[in-house]
A = this chain, B = another copy of it.
Amino acid sequence: MARPQPRPLGRVLGIDPAAAGATGFAVIETDGRDCRVLHYGAAKPLRGASPAGRLAGIHKLVAKLLQDFSPDAVAVESSFAALNVRSALLLAEVRGVVLLAAAQSQVPVESYSPREIKAKVAGSGQASKQQVQVMVRSQLQMKELPQPHDAADAMAVALCHIHSQRVRARMVRALSPRDAS
Contact = CB atoms under 8 A, between A and B. Distances in A.
A54 B52 CA distance: 20
Interface in A33-69: 50-53, 55-56, 59
A14 to B, nearest CB: 16
Contacts of A97: 96-97, 100
Nearest to A79: B89
Nearest to A56: B103
Nearest to A107: B52
A99 interface: yes
The oligomer's copy count stands at 2
A70 to B, nearest CB: 17
B89 A55 contact: no
A172 B95 CA distance: 37
A164 to B, nearest CB: 17
A176 interface: no
A75 interface: no
